[in-house]
Amino acid sequence: MLVRYERQTAKSTGKYSSIQIPHPWTDEELNKVDEDVLAEEICGSKVRYWEDVNVGDELKPVVKGPFGMTDIIAFCVGAAPVQLAAHGAQLRQYKKHPAWGFRDPVTHAWEPVYGVHYSVAAAKGVGARYAYDVGVQRHCWLVNLLTNWMGDEGWLKSCNAQYRQFVYHSDVIWFHGKVTKRYIDGNGEYCVDIETDGINQRGENTIPGHATVILPSREKGTWPVEERLPAKEFRGIGKGVYF
Protein backbone atom coordinates (compact mmCIF):
# COMPACT_ATOMS: atom_id res chain seq x y z
CA MET A 1 0.00 0.00 0.00
CA LEU A 2 1.29 3.46 -0.93
CA VAL A 3 -0.32 6.71 0.22
CA ARG A 4 0.86 10.13 -0.94
CA TYR A 5 -0.55 13.22 0.70
CA GLU A 6 1.00 16.69 0.49
CA ARG A 7 0.44 17.40 4.16
CA GLN A 8 2.81 20.31 4.79
CA THR A 9 2.51 21.66 1.24
CA ALA A 10 -1.26 21.51 1.40
CA LYS A 11 -1.16 23.28 4.77
CA SER A 12 1.00 26.14 3.47
CA THR A 13 -0.98 26.60 0.24
CA GLY A 14 -4.42 26.19 1.78
CA LYS A 15 -5.27 23.53 -0.81
CA TYR A 16 -8.04 22.01 1.30
CA SER A 17 -9.09 25.13 3.18
CA SER A 18 -12.45 25.26 1.42
CA ILE A 19 -13.54 21.98 3.03
CA GLN A 20 -15.75 22.60 6.05
CA ILE A 21 -14.85 20.13 8.79
CA PRO A 22 -16.66 18.87 10.80
CA HIS A 23 -19.31 18.70 8.11
CA PRO A 24 -22.32 20.96 8.84
CA TRP A 25 -25.01 18.29 8.75
CA THR A 26 -28.65 19.20 9.27
CA ASP A 27 -30.94 16.98 11.34
CA GLU A 28 -32.88 16.09 8.19
CA GLU A 29 -29.70 15.03 6.40
CA LEU A 30 -28.55 12.95 9.34
CA ASN A 31 -31.91 11.18 9.53
CA LYS A 32 -31.57 10.28 5.85
CA VAL A 33 -28.02 8.97 6.47
CA ASP A 34 -29.32 6.76 9.28
CA GLU A 35 -31.99 5.39 6.95
CA ASP A 36 -29.35 4.62 4.32
CA VAL A 37 -27.13 2.88 6.87
CA LEU A 38 -30.00 0.72 8.12
CA ALA A 39 -31.04 -0.20 4.56
CA GLU A 40 -27.96 -2.42 4.22
CA GLU A 41 -28.81 -5.90 2.94
CA ILE A 42 -26.73 -9.01 3.70
CA CYS A 43 -27.26 -11.94 1.37
CA GLY A 44 -25.79 -14.37 3.91
CA SER A 45 -27.03 -17.94 3.46
CA LYS A 46 -29.25 -17.00 0.51
CA VAL A 47 -27.20 -18.32 -2.41
CA ARG A 48 -26.46 -15.94 -5.26
CA TYR A 49 -25.91 -18.04 -8.36
CA TRP A 50 -23.79 -16.92 -11.29
CA GLU A 51 -26.65 -17.62 -13.70
CA ASP A 52 -28.83 -15.02 -11.93
CA VAL A 53 -26.34 -12.19 -12.39
CA ASN A 54 -26.29 -9.84 -15.39
CA VAL A 55 -23.90 -7.20 -16.63
CA GLY A 56 -25.21 -3.85 -15.40
CA ASP A 57 -26.62 -5.20 -12.13
CA GLU A 58 -26.03 -2.78 -9.26
CA LEU A 59 -25.11 -3.86 -5.75
CA LYS A 60 -27.18 -2.67 -2.83
CA PRO A 61 -25.19 0.30 -1.43
CA VAL A 62 -23.42 0.14 1.90
CA VAL A 63 -23.22 3.38 3.88
CA LYS A 64 -20.73 4.19 6.63
CA GLY A 65 -20.94 7.26 8.82
CA PRO A 66 -20.92 9.84 10.05
CA PHE A 67 -17.45 8.55 10.81
CA GLY A 68 -16.65 9.11 14.47
CA MET A 69 -14.32 8.47 17.37
CA THR A 70 -15.84 5.14 18.38
CA ASP A 71 -15.52 3.86 14.81
CA ILE A 72 -11.77 4.46 14.77
CA ILE A 73 -11.27 3.17 18.32
CA ALA A 74 -13.06 -0.08 17.43
CA PHE A 75 -10.80 -0.44 14.39
CA CYS A 76 -7.65 0.27 16.40
CA VAL A 77 -8.59 -2.28 19.06
CA GLY A 78 -9.20 -4.98 16.49
CA ALA A 79 -6.79 -4.26 13.66
CA ALA A 80 -4.40 -1.35 14.18
CA PRO A 81 -1.02 -2.15 12.56
CA VAL A 82 0.82 -0.53 15.47
CA GLN A 83 1.21 -1.38 19.13
CA LEU A 84 -0.82 0.98 21.28
CA ALA A 85 0.02 1.10 24.97
CA ALA A 86 -0.19 3.54 27.87
CA HIS A 87 1.69 5.23 30.71
CA GLY A 88 5.24 4.08 31.39
CA ALA A 89 5.15 1.22 28.91
CA GLN A 90 4.41 3.60 26.06
CA LEU A 91 6.68 6.39 27.30
CA ARG A 92 9.66 4.04 27.32
CA GLN A 93 8.99 3.29 23.69
CA TYR A 94 8.82 7.00 22.82
CA LYS A 95 12.12 7.64 24.59
CA LYS A 96 13.71 4.84 22.57
CA HIS A 97 12.02 5.94 19.33
CA PRO A 98 11.31 9.71 19.49
CA ALA A 99 9.64 9.74 16.08
CA TRP A 100 6.92 7.43 17.31
CA GLY A 101 5.24 9.94 19.62
CA PHE A 102 4.49 13.59 20.32
CA ARG A 103 3.18 15.65 23.22
CA ASP A 104 -0.39 16.77 22.62
CA PRO A 105 -0.51 20.60 22.73
CA VAL A 106 -3.88 20.63 24.50
CA THR A 107 -3.72 17.78 27.01
CA HIS A 108 0.13 17.66 27.24
CA ALA A 109 -0.13 13.87 27.19
CA TRP A 110 2.22 11.73 25.11
CA GLU A 111 0.40 10.37 22.07
CA PRO A 112 1.45 8.12 19.17
CA VAL A 113 1.87 9.59 15.70
CA TYR A 114 -0.78 7.05 14.70
CA GLY A 115 -3.08 9.40 16.59
CA VAL A 116 -3.65 11.32 13.33
CA HIS A 117 -6.58 8.94 12.91
CA TYR A 118 -8.36 10.02 16.09
CA SER A 119 -6.63 13.18 17.36
CA VAL A 120 -7.35 16.48 15.64
CA ALA A 121 -4.17 17.95 17.13
CA ALA A 122 -2.06 15.13 15.70
CA ALA A 123 -3.70 15.38 12.29
CA LYS A 124 -3.24 19.14 12.08
CA GLY A 125 0.32 18.72 13.29
CA VAL A 126 1.19 16.77 10.13
CA GLY A 127 -0.66 19.16 7.85
CA ALA A 128 -4.04 17.45 7.52
CA ARG A 129 -7.29 19.33 8.05
CA TYR A 130 -8.78 17.01 10.67
CA ALA A 131 -8.50 13.49 12.09
CA TYR A 132 -9.06 10.94 9.35
CA ASP A 133 -9.64 7.26 8.65
CA VAL A 134 -7.12 4.48 8.05
CA GLY A 135 -6.91 3.49 4.39
CA VAL A 136 -7.23 -0.22 5.02
CA GLN A 137 -10.18 0.49 7.32
CA ARG A 138 -12.02 2.07 4.39
CA HIS A 139 -11.03 -0.89 2.24
CA CYS A 140 -12.69 -3.16 4.81
CA TRP A 141 -15.88 -1.14 4.40
CA LEU A 142 -15.65 -1.71 0.65
CA VAL A 143 -15.29 -5.44 1.24
CA ASN A 144 -18.56 -5.28 3.23
CA LEU A 145 -20.28 -4.13 0.03
CA LEU A 146 -18.99 -7.14 -1.88
CA THR A 147 -19.47 -9.84 0.76
CA ASN A 148 -22.99 -8.59 1.51
CA TRP A 149 -23.86 -9.07 -2.15
CA MET A 150 -22.11 -12.37 -2.91
CA GLY A 151 -23.34 -14.22 0.19
CA ASP A 152 -21.73 -16.99 2.20
CA GLU A 153 -21.14 -19.23 -0.83
CA GLY A 154 -19.34 -16.63 -2.95
CA TRP A 155 -15.58 -16.17 -2.95
CA LEU A 156 -13.92 -12.75 -3.13
CA LYS A 157 -11.04 -13.43 -5.53
CA SER A 158 -9.64 -9.89 -5.63
CA CYS A 159 -10.49 -6.40 -4.43
CA ASN A 160 -8.32 -3.53 -5.62
CA ALA A 161 -8.86 0.14 -4.88
CA GLN A 162 -7.14 3.51 -4.75
CA TYR A 163 -7.31 5.76 -1.69
CA ARG A 164 -8.03 9.15 -3.27
CA GLN A 165 -9.20 11.29 -0.34
CA PHE A 166 -9.18 11.06 3.42
CA VAL A 167 -12.42 10.26 5.17
CA TYR A 168 -12.50 12.84 7.95
CA HIS A 169 -14.38 12.49 11.20
CA SER A 170 -17.99 13.53 10.49
CA ASP A 171 -17.85 12.31 6.85
CA VAL A 172 -20.25 9.78 5.34
CA ILE A 173 -19.34 7.36 2.54
CA TRP A 174 -21.79 5.69 0.16
CA PHE A 175 -20.29 2.52 -1.36
CA HIS A 176 -21.62 1.37 -4.72
CA GLY A 177 -20.87 -1.48 -7.09
CA LYS A 178 -21.86 -2.40 -10.64
CA VAL A 179 -21.34 -5.67 -12.52
CA THR A 180 -19.19 -5.03 -15.60
CA LYS A 181 -18.34 -8.54 -16.76
CA ARG A 182 -19.64 -12.09 -16.31
CA TYR A 183 -17.47 -14.96 -17.52
CA ILE A 184 -15.88 -18.36 -16.92
CA ASP A 185 -12.16 -17.98 -16.26
CA GLY A 186 -9.28 -20.22 -17.31
CA ASN A 187 -9.77 -22.37 -14.22
CA GLY A 188 -13.38 -23.06 -15.09
CA GLU A 189 -14.69 -20.86 -12.28
CA TYR A 190 -17.74 -18.66 -12.63
CA CYS A 191 -16.58 -15.08 -12.20
CA VAL A 192 -18.10 -11.63 -12.02
CA ASP A 193 -16.13 -8.38 -12.31
CA ILE A 194 -17.46 -5.41 -10.34
CA GLU A 195 -16.55 -1.72 -10.53
CA THR A 196 -16.79 -0.03 -7.13
CA ASP A 197 -16.65 3.42 -5.60
CA GLY A 198 -17.02 5.19 -2.26
CA ILE A 199 -18.60 8.64 -2.60
CA ASN A 200 -18.56 11.14 0.27
CA GLN A 201 -21.10 13.87 0.97
CA ARG A 202 -18.99 16.30 -1.10
CA GLY A 203 -19.43 14.12 -4.18
CA GLU A 204 -15.80 12.93 -4.17
CA ASN A 205 -14.91 9.35 -5.03
CA THR A 206 -12.64 8.51 -2.12
CA ILE A 207 -11.90 4.91 -3.16
CA PRO A 208 -12.46 3.93 -6.81
CA GLY A 209 -11.80 0.25 -7.40
CA HIS A 210 -12.63 -3.04 -9.03
CA ALA A 211 -13.16 -6.56 -7.74
CA THR A 212 -13.67 -10.10 -8.94
CA VAL A 213 -16.11 -12.45 -7.23
CA ILE A 214 -16.48 -16.19 -7.89
CA LEU A 215 -20.05 -17.43 -7.52
CA PRO A 216 -21.65 -20.88 -7.38
CA SER A 217 -23.08 -22.20 -10.65
CA ARG A 218 -26.55 -23.69 -10.46
CA GLU A 219 -26.18 -25.47 -13.81
CA LYS A 220 -22.73 -26.93 -13.19
CA GLY A 221 -23.08 -27.48 -9.46
CA THR A 222 -19.82 -25.71 -8.61
CA TRP A 223 -19.20 -24.23 -5.16
CA PRO A 224 -16.13 -21.95 -4.87
CA VAL A 225 -15.96 -22.16 -1.08
CA GLU A 226 -16.12 -25.94 -1.18
CA GLU A 227 -13.24 -25.98 -3.69
CA ARG A 228 -11.07 -24.13 -1.18
CA LEU A 229 -11.75 -26.29 1.85
CA PRO A 230 -10.13 -29.64 2.70
CA ALA A 231 -12.48 -32.39 1.56
CA LYS A 232 -13.03 -33.66 5.11
CA GLU A 233 -14.40 -30.27 6.19
CA PHE A 234 -17.21 -30.27 3.66
CA ARG A 235 -20.41 -32.06 4.55
CA GLY A 236 -23.40 -31.58 2.29
CA ILE A 237 -24.20 -31.40 -1.38
CA GLY A 238 -24.85 -28.01 -2.92
CA LYS A 239 -25.62 -26.23 0.31
CA GLY A 240 -22.25 -25.49 1.82
CA VAL A 241 -22.71 -27.12 5.21
CA TYR A 242 -19.44 -26.94 7.17
CA PHE A 243 -18.53 -28.79 10.37
**What pLDDT was estimated at residue 165?**
92
The burial class, CB within 10 Å (0-12 / 13-18 / 19+), for 126 is middle
How far is residue 20's CA from residue 52's CA, in Å, rounded to a whole number? Answer: 44
Which stretch of 4-18, 41-55, 69-83, 204-218 has the lowest confidence by average pLDDT?
4-18
Percent of the chain with pLDDT over 70: 88
Which stretch of 38-52, 104-118, 139-153, 177-191 has the lowest confidence by average pLDDT?
104-118
Residue 80 binned pLDDT confidence (cut-offs 50, 70, 90): confident
| Mean pLDDT to the nearest integer, 67-82 | 89
217: nearest Cα among 209, 227, 207, 208: 227
Q: Which of 3.40.50.300, 3.40.50.11540, 3.10.129.10, 2.40.160.40 is the CATH number of 41-64+133-231?
A: 3.10.129.10
Residue 18 binned pLDDT confidence (cut-offs 50, 70, 90): confident
How far is residue 175's CA from residue 62's CA, in Å, rounded to a whole number? Answer: 5
30: nearest Cα among 63, 70, 72, 75: 63
194: nearest Cα among 207, 209, 204, 206: 209
CB-based contact 173:206 (threshold 8 Å)? yes
CB atoms within 10 A of CB 233: 9
CA 16 to centroid of chain Cα atoms: 23
Residue-range domain boundaries for the chain? 41-64+133-231, 72-125
Mean model confidence pLDDT for the chain: 90
Residue 243 binned pLDDT confidence (cut-offs 50, 70, 90): very low
How far is residue 191's CA from residue 118's CA, in Å, rounded to a whole number? Answer: 39
CB atoms within 10 A of CB 152: 15
**What pLDDT was estimated at residue 240?**
52
**What pLDDT was estimated at residue 4?**
61
pLDDT at 5 over 80: no
Question: At how many degrees (to 10) do helices 69-79 and 135-150 cross?
Answer: 90
Task: Report pLDDT digits (tens) over 129-162.
Answer: 999 999 999 999 999 999 999 999 999 999 999 9
